[in-house]
Chain A
Amino acid sequence: GQSLEQPSEVTAVEGAIVQINCTYQTSGFYGLSWYQQHDGGAPTFLSYNALDGLEETGRFSSFLSRSDSYGYLLLQELQMKDSASYFCAVRRSNDYKLSFGAGTTVTVRA
């Protein structure tokens, strides 16, 4: 099964803030990444947290807490174009394999 857990769906209105949580059971990893995938498109890289704390990139921010086995992606000032699936991912340090969460579908309503 998945070692990374994410909510399956989130719905919000334009201009709102959405937080997508990612909890993991992987014992060791190099960092937490986030990807965005629009329906029918290729996943695109959004952010990477190697260390605990908050990383901000425009309207999107990502957070990691290794002690809590938890991270999140924060989407601010939501726009219709943010409707997509969002995946968290880690590269595990024990076998160097890339592992992805099942994804969270974000739907932005007018």
Chain B
Amino acid sequence: KAGVTQTPRYLIKTRGQQVTLSCSPISGHRSVSWYQQTPGQGLQFLFEYFSETQRNKGNFPGRFSGRQFSNSRSEMNVSTLELGDSALYLCASSKGLTNTGELFFGEGSRLTVL
């Protein structure tokens, strides 16, 4: 079965612009979480959605937002982009809000802010 799909894979924006990233989870998975990955910082948790509801949110400014649709697909949006937002944004899915941490990741959307 198809894995987690993220689009676009690469994008370049300039400061002040906004960006929307998309994530299609594995079929049957209802939980989607988002992470920001930068060198040396590991994966920083952004948000987690389950059944269209945000269940959890990381420590990021309000410029970072997200949503989940009825088909479990999710989008995240970053407004008023800053240079420091340049990162790999990873999406992960699971069947439910798993305690096991067994997440299935997409290959990410690499954002460069100039």
Residues of A within 8 A of B (CB): 2, 8, 30-33, 35, 40-45, 48, 50, 87, 89-91, 95-103
Contact = CB atoms under 8 A, between A and B. Distances in A.
30 contacts: A2-B42, A30-B100, A32-B101, A33-B100, A33-B102, A35-B105, A40-B107, A41-B107, A42-B4, A42-B90, A42-B106, A42-B107, A42-B108, A43-B92, A43-B105, A45-B101, A45-B102, A45-B103, A48-B102, A50-B99, A50-B100, A87-B43, A89-B101, A96-B55, A97-B58, A98-B48, A100-B43, A100-B44, A101-B42, A103-B42
Given A41-B107, A96-B55, A97-B45, A31 B100 contact: yes
A91 B58 CA distance: 13
Nearest to A33: B101
Contacts of A90: 101
A2 B3 CA distance: 29
Interface of B: 3-4, 33, 35, 40-45, 48, 55-56, 58, 90, 92, 97-108
Contacts of A103: 42
Contacts of A40: 107
A102 B48 contact: no
A31 B55 contact: no
Nearest to B105: A42
A48 B100 contact: yes
Nearest to A43: B105
In the A-B complex, the 7 residue pairs with the smallest Cβ-Cβ separation, listed nearest first, are A33-B101, A102-B42, A30-B99, A100-B43, A42-B105, A43-B105, A42-B107
Contacts of A50: 99-100
B88 to A, nearest CB: 9
Given A42-B90, A42-B108, A98-B33, A91 B103 contact: no
B90 A43 contact: yes
Contacts of B40: 8, 102
